[in-house]
Structure 1
């Protein structure tokens, strides 16, 4: 006989909630004390570097010297690597009163690695606003949310998805355009083939799935389908659990043609008719190409088709390009 779920009286629920809030506050308090401790250590290191007279110790040897003296008794927080992080943290955030209690040391360590002030302030502000964990913030940094916002024509949607204010409800919400594939290490000026691109993506599958967005899991590479004596091979197949649908990715290292679109349409039709379960949403197809003609895409497909063309870039925008986009955004805000 199935045991009925116990209904707790309000007083028990209230006390548990009070306890949980207090415990979280205590954890945040301890985390912030740790941040302040590291800030003070970083300040002391900088003061010693700037004022020290014994150059053999106070030059390049200072941090290794501190580590040698303190790590054996005080532990790995005084490792050379962590001391370098601590010094960089103080240099990046030299005003103690500006430190935010909502952020942990892991938050600040990642933020300290960002050289751009505007970019760093953006992630700091968004992390506090959305209560991101250190891992969630790092995911947004690694997926280049800041750079995307500067070059996006739909900033509100992009930002709302990143903030989890909006869960993807339409296939176009899970397709990024462009996709930044800098992590592949392929040089734009070099010639390479679709097989090279596919191999690089598989080698860097974790980074590619991060670039694709939320909710993706890997299904297959070079998925073979047999159609009345002919074999075809789909480059990459993923599944998106947020939309509950298969996502097929075809790779093209040339300018997109209508034949490429027709090929992907066939693959999407196959998955919809053979692989898709009744409760799942229609399959989404993504043509990842070096160059595309949006008009060709538009007229090669029926309206409301679940097929999208996305350009890929092998490098991020330059600092000058980002600064230019940032100035445009600031100008728009001043006008408003």
Structure 2
């Protein structure tokens, strides 16, 4: 066996060992996160139940969390500020509906289970009642995110929106930063506006489901990550370059299934060249997505141009096992009534959406959050009216 073979075999061994260690460390971190979340849920439950007992209200009143914070910090160190303990209490209240506390006498419970905390002095102290983590959460709620993720989710007051962001964070492996960004950009609200009540409920339960072109389109798109000032003039080329420079963020904003294909894609017809700003492929829809950028207001000529691009792609780029391409015109301004008529009746699927260069303000966020229940109520009323009309027409 020559020296090169020995070296190659050794490197293979080293890679396998590194893979084993990396996998083991990932599992350890995941289990630590899970245990931490379960422990904080339990602490929240204890605080809630303690405060609800009449005899303790007068004794500790509003100072319970303050006192707990001081004593727990003294005993266990960082991580038990008043704010954090309040988060644990809120976490229990929000997620207790998803959980069932199992009895300590459950057959699945091992009485020997304990929970150890490291004190400030470096010693480990074991807390053991029947069990601190006593399988309190049923299969309805198995923590899949870190505590930091759940703290971010607790900021979302609307239940449907919170459930949606939780599912999306799990499915797409969002970091806390990505979760915060998507929540602040009102992703759920933007998607919900174009869906019926049933679809909104399904989206809240399972996250964004992409089955048809409409499912992948948002209006508006939030492009705050480009750091372009809204009041400053810029060209379409500058907008395109900014999107390419921040492609990772743009893909996150586009949503599930998108992969980048080309910029300024050239197509040639009778010796004349035409250029499509951006071309993506959506693997869930199995089709190309052509994007045209407009720094001004949507015009009928933009629709004709996109329709032309789509016809070319359908005939020259699409494979037999793929679906027809769809077009998205991203524009700074759009008249919705004009868009309705100019986009109607096309053989190709063309969509027009506005883009915004700044995240919604705190006031806009609050207004949107308050509008969700009202929006659902209106959609349900409209659905009921349609049902009544249909039933009357059948009777007639």
Calculate the TM-score normalised by the size of structure 1: 0.67
2:195 is aligned with 1:154: yes
Q: 1:92 aligns with which of 71, 87, 90?
A: 87
| Matching residue of 1:23 | none
Kept in 2: contact 1:123–1:137 (CA 8 A):
no
Deviation at 1:153, TM superposition (A): 4.6
Deviation at 1:331, TM superposition (A): 5.3
2:322 is aligned with 1:320: no
| Matching residue of 1:116 | 155
Unpaired stretches in structure 2, ≥5 consecutive residues: 1-27, 48-65, 97-136, 382-396
2:345 is aligned with 1:302: yes
* Distance in 1, Cα, partners of 2:144 & 2:170: 13
| Matching residue of 1:214 | 256
CA distance 1:279–1:180, shift in 2 (3 Å):
same
Q: 2:173 aligns with which of 121, 129, 135?
A: 135
2:308 is aligned with 1:266: yes
* Distance in 2, Cα, partners of 1:172 & 1:281: 14
| Matching residue of 1:34 | 36
CA distance 1:316–1:275, shift in 2 (3 Å):
same
| Matching residue of 2:14 | none
* Distance in 2, Cα, partners of 1:115 & 1:34: 16
Q: Deviations over 1:103-155 (max 9, x none)?
A: 54843212324683516x65654477899458268666543498244452526
Kept in 2: contact 1:288–1:312 (CA 8 A):
yes
* Distance in 1, Cα, partners of 2:204 & 2:170: 10
* Distance in 2, Cα, partners of 1:130 & 1:236: 26
| Matching residue of 1:231 | 273
* Distance in 1, Cα, partners of 2:38 & 2:309: 56
Deviation at 1:178, TM superposition (A): 1.2
* Distance in 2, Cα, partners of 1:221 & 1:186: 20
SS of 1:224's equivalent? strand
| Matching residue of 1:292 | 334
Q: Deviations over 1:88-109 (max 9, x none)?
A: 6445324685466545484321
SS of 1:238's equivalent? strand
Query: Max radius of gyration: which structure?
Result: 2
Q: CA RMSD in A?
A: 4.3
2:184 is aligned with 1:189: no
* Distance in 2, Cα, partners of 1:272 & 1:134: 30
Deviation at 1:312, TM superposition (A): 0.8
* Distance in 2, Cα, partners of 1:261 & 1:319: 34
CA distance 1:214–1:194, shift in 2 (3 Å):
same
Deviation at 1:329, TM superposition (A): 3.7
Kept in 1: contact 2:152–2:180 (CA 8 A):
no
Unpaired stretches in structure 1, ≥5 consecutive residues: 1-25, 53-57, 67-82
| Matching residue of 1:244 | 286
- Structure 1 segments of 4+ aligned residues over 6 angstroms from their partners: 26-29, 38-41, 46-49, 84-88, 127-131, 332-336
CA distance 1:246–1:333, shift in 2 (3 Å):
closer
Deviation at 1:197, TM superposition (A): 1.0
* Distance in 2, Cα, partners of 1:240 & 1:29: 34
CA distance 1:238–1:272, shift in 2 (3 Å):
same
CA distance 1:329–1:274, shift in 2 (3 Å):
closer
Between stretches 148-157 and 211-220, larger displacement belongs to 148-157
Calculate the TM-score normalised by the size of structure 2: 0.58
Q: Deviations over 1:55-111 (max 9, x none)?
A: xxx9xxx9xxx7xxxxxxxxxxxxxxxx67998644532468546654548432123
CA distance 1:134–1:263, shift in 2 (3 Å):
closer
